[in-house]
């Protein structure tokens, strides 16, 4: 089926060359906002998920399985790009060009095409051709070093490089290029590198350092767990509570909720020399009650105290439930589309596809003649998922 969305990107057509993590995330953001995303999966991927895909990172699009190494496979992608608004690829630099689906190949047929490129190191520079992962990109960008305890940096999952500095900023770049196209009539290349994006996410830290508000090493500053009133604490049941009482008025409410005060010889908030002592006092008090008991104690205050929830229980919190921050789609609980628009809200367009599930129907909807599709099937250039043959 062809998507009939009322989202803000309704009518925008996106070709996604299948890749890992950041590229699919960017395309999920675009799909949730109303774009029609056609995923080009590898022909060899067909039948690889016999029980059905469950990954929210590929929700809301259709899948065509193509042998990109076949000359006619590359030609098919170019023909599809001729009627698309956006193409997203996540190859190492030069691979798309060797396949015949690089920017010049595609934009020669469609000057309005926005061509999104998702890499770790970018399209040029000494490391551009090298392999890497999120941990490498955020390590080189300066985003990893401040995170963790005093002894060593802690890996913050792959949220900073892959998703924040990578996929999210790729989506922003694509949206900016689409907006500019309304003035110029021309598309452009969006070079989204995770090392660039992760560096951009540290802009605030550079400002704090310049202003003298980041004087110490890891775990010695306000926002890195160095301040005892901006940290996590274990509770009586072995769970954790998050404390973010930075401002004096919020710190005062924290002390009230904990039953502490300077009259009990509690160090002042600004007394850095006594921060270790303050941390010990806070840790001892938080161990007296369970996480949920502390949650109830502080929920109607501005002490900035909240539970540390796992991704699998976050949907149960009353605030998340009231806002429907999570929803179930195709039997999988997952985050809802964000951000929210009042007139043209986003939505999950559908379940994750099997590779090649929509090869025939999607190509027909994208204007490819029936005889061409039949010939490509016969030649093995395109493949359909067994359940859809």
Active-site positions?
133, 162
- Taking the alpha carbons at both ends of the chain, their separation in whole angstroms is 16
**Helix/strand/coil (H/E/C) assignment for every residue in the chain:** CCCCCCCCCCCCEEEEECCCCHHHHHHHHHHHCCCEEEEEEEHHHCCCCCCCCCCHHHCCEEEEEECCCCHHHHHHHHHHHCCCCEEEECCCCCHHHHHCCCHHHHHCCCCCCEEEEEECCCCCCCCCCCCCCHHHHHHHHCCCCCCECCCCECCCCCHHHHHHHHHHHHHHHHHHHHHHHHHHCCCCEEEEEHHHHHHHHCHHHHHHHHCCCCCCCCCCCCCCCCCCCEEEEECCCCCEEEEECCCHHHHHHHHHHHCCCHHHCCCCCCCHHHHHHHHHHHHHHHCCCCHHHHHHHHCCCCCCEEECCCCCCHHHCHHHHHHCCEEEECCEEEECCCCCCCCCCCCCCCCCCCCCCCHHHHHHHCCCCHHHHHHHHHCCCEECCHHHC
**Exposure b/e, 172-188, CB count within 10 A at least 16 = b:** ebbbebbeebeeeeebb
């Amino acid at each position: 089926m062809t998507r009939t969305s009322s989202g803000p990107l309704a009518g925008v057509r996106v070709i996604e060359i299948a890749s890992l993590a950041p590229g699919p995330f960017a395309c999920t953001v675009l799909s949730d906002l109303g774009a029609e995303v056609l995923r080009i999966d590898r022909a060899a991927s067909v039948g690889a998920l016999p029980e059905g895909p469950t990954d929210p990172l590929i929700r809301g699009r259709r899948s065509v399985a193509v042998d990109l190494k076949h000359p006619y496979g590359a030609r098919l992608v170019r023909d599809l790009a001729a009627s698309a608004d956006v193409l997203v690829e996540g190859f190492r630099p030069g691979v798309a060009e060797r396949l015949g689906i690089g920017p010049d190949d595609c934009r020669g047929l469609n000057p309005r095409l926005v061509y999104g490129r998702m890499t770790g190191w970018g399209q040029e520079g000494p490391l551009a051709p090298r392999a890497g992962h999120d941990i490498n990109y955020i390590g080189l960008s300066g985003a990893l070093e401040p995170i963790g305890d005093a002894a060593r940096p802690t890996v913050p999952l792959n949220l900073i490089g892959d998703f924040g500095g990578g996929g999210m900023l790729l989506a922003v770049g694509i949206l900016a290029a689409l907006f500019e196209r309304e003035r110029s009539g021309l598309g452009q290349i969006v070079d989204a590198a995770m090392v660039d994006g992760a560096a951009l996410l540290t802009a605030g830290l550079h400002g704090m350092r310049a202003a003298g508000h980041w004087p110490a090493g890891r775990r010695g500053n306000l926002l890195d767990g160095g301040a005892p009133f901006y940290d996590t604490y274990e509770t009586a049941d072995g769970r954790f509570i998050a404390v973010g009482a930075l401002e004096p008025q919020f710190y005062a409410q924290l002390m009230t909720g904990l039953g502490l005060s300077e009259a009990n010889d509690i160090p002042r908030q600004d007394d850095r020399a006594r921060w270790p002592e303050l941390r010990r006092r806070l840790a001892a008090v938080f161990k007296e009650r369970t996480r949920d008991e502390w949650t109830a104690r502080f929920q109607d205050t501005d002490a900035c105290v909240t539970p540390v929830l796992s991704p699998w229980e976050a949907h149960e919190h009353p605030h998340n439930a009231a806002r429907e921050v999570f929803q179930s789609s195709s039997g999988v609980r997952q985050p809802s589309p964000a951000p929210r628009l009042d007139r043209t809200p986003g939505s999950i367009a559908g379940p994750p596809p099997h590779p090649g599930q929509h090869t025939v129907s999607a190509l027909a909807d994208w204007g490819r003649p029936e005889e061409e599709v039949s010939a490509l099937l016969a030649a093995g250039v395109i493949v359909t998922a067994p359940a859809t043959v």
